[in-house]
Structure 1
Amino acid sequence: MGNNNTRIPKSHTWFEQLPTEIILEIFDYLSCNDVMYTFFYLNERLNKLILQHECYLSLELPISNLMFSKNIFLEVASKIQSLNIIKNDSSISLKLFPNLKSIIMSSPYNLVEQQLETILKSDQFKKLHSLKIKCNELFFTPSFYDYSLNQVLLLQKVFNNENSLNIFEYSSCIQSFSLKPINHLKLNLNLHSLILNLRQFMDLFFLIEYTPNLKYLNIKSNPPYEYHEQNQWLNNNKIKLKQFYLTFNDTMYGMNRFTARRIDFHQLINAITQFSSSLLCLSLNLIGCFITSSNDLPFNGIQLQQQFLQLMTQLKQFHLFAVLTQDRIDMKRILSTFQNEFWFNHNWIVGMHDKYLYTLPFHFDKFYDFIDFDYIYSSNPKILINNPKIWFNVKYIKFKKFNLDLLKLIKIHMPQLLVVSIDYFNDSENTEDLHIIQNKTNNMNIRLDRITTVHLTCGSLENEKQWLMNSLPNLKHLSLTHTELPLLKSELTFKLNEKIERLVIDGNLIVEQFGKRSYIYFSNLQDLQLKFDWKFSSDIYNWYAETYKSRHLNDRNNICWKNSVIVSL
């Protein structure tokens, strides 16, 4: 029954007695890897079901139990169509997968140039319909990682008429494309979907010259700034783009927003309206843009309508997210500019809280400076009451004021939430008496099963221990900035020791504290990032270097200097 002679036992379980329809429903709920590793060798009936219903077409390369996994791959490799690579591993050759159509490289680290080049130069690459290189920026700051990529080779292989790619994604937040003059790019008539992380927005128009059949475009880049030399945008009327998603980075702020440069909306509008005759969906995430006046785009709905949106004659869906940098704003006046016939006819509704403006339902995955649902206002207040899925897309929430009482509402309104971020530095009112917090959490009976990541700035882990332990059963990732560690004998210490797989610690004092106690803290770590400045004691650093060379951490470990280099242990 395959390339090896592994015997399938004839075991009998209660599970096996379930009807085939129910078993297949269970399989649909699980990932392909879960199905294969759990049931493939359990008994003959389940093995046949898996093979007959092709529950193996999309698999993730394993990072453990490699021998067991290889046995399974030998059985089904010739039929696998999609492969997810999350770790650098050359022990499994792509030659095992002759019918591979899709490769996803999704690791935030351990993805080396040699591995990518092997894929690009393989025979399988020419047959691929989809190649995606990405990382999940919700969990960490990937700029910590030492990362090398042959961009020229990658672009030459993708923008080429010798492959079958329909979809190409490069959304890695580790390293954006910085396009220098690149030769030997060719038209790719197959490409209809591009997701790219670019250094400069203008580089986009160089690349899409080679994709005349492009329909879907998703770009993350720095915005076009005022006082830049005016760019002569290439006329791309021949490209009948249907969907355009644009996100601007916030790295231009640096340490001081007062030195930030203003976005040039004139250039941006000229660029986007080139696709006005075909564009059906437009999404603008302008959170990274320096916007100082509520009288300007995009905070003035009348100007946004007249100078931009009315030019987009085919537009059906419009998503917007932006923030003002001025101290005082008139929220009621801003919302009134979005309450005319144009906005009502398109059913485009906007909401606001604090200094943030966004379309509703909320389309984006990050939500900032949240206080309470009662502090959110809208150009059509009914949507806040009548639409239960208005916040469905939120995966990351940063609290301006953290309130434990909100956890139950958050579970209801934000069912996809993965990351919680709390900043105590900017809000002295956040710090409650420890006994009050403990009393609240002791009386709570709420579990947020999907949340895997918590970011804390200032404050104390000891103050958070009850809700961290009781409400977040699947906590795996922890990022601490100037946050006090729990007591050695605290119950929380032992819980975190069992749970935490990835850890970021930022700040000289807490890094030093962690160093002195690390023999008991977080022994299950797979990845560690330490961030400190040049005032950090060289003795402590040397101690880390020696200690973690001999530690049993399961994966690559990083000690980092702030704004500087990385030492990999």
Structure 2
Amino acid sequence: MKFEYLPNEILLDIFEYFHLRDLFQTFHNLNFRLNQLLYESFRSYSLDLRSISRYDFDIICQQHLPIILHKITSIHLADNDETPNLPQRFLSQSISVDQFTHLKSLSIHSIQSIDIIHQIIKQSQQVTHLKIIKCFCEYKEIQLINQIWSLPKLTFCHLDNLISKGIYFSELLTPSSTIKYLSIKNIICDFRSLSYVFQKTPSLQHLSTTIVCTEKFEKIPPPTNPLLTKLSLSYDGSIPSLMNLFQHMPLLRSLTISTSYLLLDGDEWQAILTDCLPQLKYFHFKMSFQFPQNYDTNDAADELLATYQSEFWIKKHQWHVQCDWNASDPFYGAILYTLPYMFHDYHYVNDSCSKSTLPNKTTCQTHIHVKNLQCEHNIVNHFIYLSTKFTNLSHLDLILPFNNEFLRNISTFTHLKSLDVTLLSSRDAYQQLQCLLNHTPHLYLLRFSHLSDMNEALFSLSNPSIRRLDFLNKQSMIYNWYFNTDECQALTNSILGRQCQTLIIDIQARNDVLDLVNNLTNLRSLIFQCKDDKGKQKLLSTTDDELIQWFHEHLPSTCTISRDAHISSIIQMWIR
């Protein structure tokens, strides 16, 4: 059967699988019937602007949005390396967020202006789900929190890693009777702030937070929240303070907790859970700790695991635990966690040892929730063999070269989306990297965290799915490698360069920037440092910035050019 003969119901089901920009690029103006389905019959759209070209963005905003405003149910906005300055451009259109009358979900990521965030939230009175992730909040953060708590229909609120000097929830003035699910990850709370969160969020049922207690016997002041049934907690404090917290959560049914430098054995946990959390059904923990020095770690692990093999753990709840430690660690570091491992991040060292309370040696399903894996090898022994299967990884951080035994587990990387590699030498590293790329069919981002030297093998790498290349280490600006003219030309002619859409790089000469923009035909955003940038040491206005003005004179007017608000030496271009 030909596609155009399919009934409307099937076509509408097919539309559900398309990104909005791809949907209109593929089906718009093919015939009257498809246009009618797109504009009239299709029930709802998700407006995802996190990875979009400037051209597609303008087409959507100018041609399609005015017609489907009332059908947009979710919006994703980002001001990052993929779409620099997109929120400013979005708000400059003749469309405001409050015109999306059926908007329910709003997600904003990496926006660097608190004023823009305020403007967006002010126009989002109808949303029920809100996510604000990695946004710039150096000041006015409490005004933002009060503004969020004032949203009349908000039930789900996720705030993660707001770059701020500190959010003081004790200054929270506006109560929210609608918020039931609150995640304030990577935002440190103390008991006093937590008490204010409970007071101003009386309907709260699920909470994810980070708590730091500086006193050994700290108590949470009233009011508390007896309605809380699910808690995900990163905790830094004493055991007595932790018990004081749990005593105010009698209805808690699910607890996920990670701790640092704190260790409870099975008997201690059993006493806490029995006395403080009688309704608990789902329990997951990860405790980072240190074994006593000058003590046999193998024997210490056996003694610790023995406390988790009682009837309470094995028969009543069927909760199993595992202990991992690095045999060469001079500080005797270790982690103890429940199985399956329920946390997204995992640090693997090649000479790690593991023991668990599982009745058999099968561990293939114990780490299926790990998304981000950092692999590290001992400098004496480059052998890496993953005895544990990580079958759902989306990000891998790896040092090359490694022992080829590592490739035995290469099939576990079929879901990998991003890869960070540190190249210590070029002898075997590039060959191994290509072998790894051959087994990552969905890889989107390849980042070189460190290049010890530039090798022509770099420009022979290939992987058909990669769309983003990152050579600029923002975390350690000391080790960045500046590409010269020949290297920029080689990158332009390489397979990865020709398919690259987002490029993050250090460049020696400004003219090479023009060549990259003009010759990389798929490039839509370019983030770079330029070695001959005279204004990189200070923030400059657009009119006084010599290099920015030079690029405006030599590039099309459609190209958006600006400096990073936090690292002034980095220039951002949204090209096409």
TM-score by shorter chain over 0.5:
yes
Q: Does 1:166 align with 2:135?
A: no
Indicate if the aligned counterparts of 1:81 and 1:101 stay in contact, CA closer than 8 A: yes
Which residue in the other structure is 1:208 paired with? 198
1:566 to partner: Cα distance: 4.6
Q: Does 1:278 align with 2:257?
A: no
Give the RMSD, CA atoms, in angstroms: 4.1
Indicate if the aligned counterparts of 2:451 and 2:481 stay in contact, CA closer than 8 A: no
Indicate if the aligned counterparts of 1:130 and 1:168 stay in contact, CA closer than 8 A: yes
CA distance in 2 between counterparts of 1:497 and 1:40 reads 26
1:34 to partner: Cα distance: 4.2
The partner residue of 2:302 within 332, 337, 352 is 332
Q: Does 1:245 align with 2:232?
A: yes
Q: Could you give the per-residue CA deviations for residues 109-161 of structure 1, whole angstroms, max 9, x where no partner exists?
A: x4422221112333xx32222221124xxxxxxxxx9664531221222233x
Q: Could you give the per-residue CA deviations for residues 286-334 of structure 1, whole angstroms, max 9, x where no partner exists?
A: 2xx234xxxxx33x11111113454201111111112223466322222
Matches within 5 A, 1:321-360: 321-326=286-291, 329=297, 330-344=300-314, 345-354=316-325, 355-360=334-339
Indicate if the aligned counterparts of 1:527 and 1:558 stay in contact, CA closer than 8 A: no
Which residue in the other structure is 2:209 paired with? 219
SS in 1 for 2:269: helix
Indicate if the aligned counterparts of 1:503 and 1:525 stay in contact, CA closer than 8 A: no
Structure with the largest fraction of strand: 2
Structure 1: which 5+ runs fail to align?
1-12, 136-144, 249-261, 292-296, 425-429, 531-537
Matches within 5 A, 1:291-306: 291=262, 297-298=263-264, 300-306=265-271
Q: Could you give the per-residue CA deviations for residues 389-446 of structure 1, whole angstroms, max 9, x where no partner exists?
A: 432321111123487875xx98xx544311111246xxxxx644xxx69xx97x9995
Which residue in the other structure is 2:57 paired with? 66
Indicate if the aligned counterparts of 1:131 and 1:165 stay in contact, CA closer than 8 A: yes
Q: Does 1:265 align with 2:265?
A: no
CA distance in 1 between counterparts of 2:318 and 2:409 reads 39
Indicate if the aligned counterparts of 2:188 and 2:209 stay in contact, CA closer than 8 A: no
Q: Which amino acid aligns with 2:239?
A: F
Higher relative contact order (CA 8 A, sep 6+): 2
CA distance in 2 between counterparts of 1:40 and 1:311 reads 60
Q: Does 1:366 align with 2:357?
A: no
Q: Does 1:484 align with 2:463?
A: no
1:339 to partner: Cα distance: 0.8
Indicate if the aligned counterparts of 1:529 and 1:559 stay in contact, CA closer than 8 A: no
* CA separation of 1:452 and 1:516: change in aligned 2, threshold 3 A: farther
Indicate if the aligned counterparts of 1:35 and 1:55 stay in contact, CA closer than 8 A: no
1:361 to partner: Cα distance: 1.6
* CA separation of 1:483 and 1:463: change in aligned 2, threshold 3 A: farther
SS in 1 for 2:286: strand
CA distance in 1 between counterparts of 2:364 and 2:261 reads 32
1:31 to partner: Cα distance: 4.4
The partner residue of 2:147 within 152, 157, 160 is 157
Q: Could you give the per-residue CA deviations for residues 10-69 of structure 1, whole angstroms, max 9, x where no partner exists?
A: xxx944345667655544544455445433544444445556764533321355312321
Indicate if the aligned counterparts of 1:322 and 1:358 stay in contact, CA closer than 8 A: yes
Give the structure-2-normalised TM-score: 0.72
Indicate if the aligned counterparts of 2:482 and 2:531 stay in contact, CA closer than 8 A: no
Matches within 5 A, 1:434-453: 446=411, 448-453=413-418
CA distance in 2 between counterparts of 1:317 and 1:388 reads 21
Matches within 5 A, 1:30-109: 30-31=18-19, 34-50=22-38, 54=42, 56-61=44-49, 63-64=53-54, 65-70=56-61, 71-87=63-79, 88=87, 89-90=90-91, 91=93, 92-105=95-108, 107-108=109-110
Identity score, percent? 19
Q: Which amino acid aligns with 2:195?
A: F
Indicate if the aligned counterparts of 1:78 and 1:98 stay in contact, CA closer than 8 A: yes
Q: Which amino acid aligns with 1:392?
A: I
Q: Which amino acid aligns with 1:342?
A: F
The partner residue of 2:373 within 373, 378, 397 is 397
Q: Could you give the per-residue CA deviations for residues 152-183 of structure 1, whole angstroms, max 9, x where no partner exists?
A: 221222233x6221122211353474217626
* CA separation of 1:507 and 1:313: change in aligned 2, threshold 3 A: closer
* CA separation of 1:41 and 1:379: change in aligned 2, threshold 3 A: farther
Indicate if the aligned counterparts of 2:154 and 2:178 stay in contact, CA closer than 8 A: yes
Indicate if the aligned counterparts of 2:228 and 2:251 stay in contact, CA closer than 8 A: yes
Give the structure-1-normalised TM-score: 0.73
Which residue in the other structure is 1:140 paired with? none
Q: Could you give the per-residue CA deviations for residues 331-378 of structure 1, whole angstroms, max 9, x where no partner exists?
A: 222211111111121122212222221111221111112549x95432
Q: Which amino acid aligns with 2:252?
A: L
SS in 2 for 1:81: strand
SS in 2 for 1:127: coil
Q: Which amino acid aligns with 2:129?
A: S
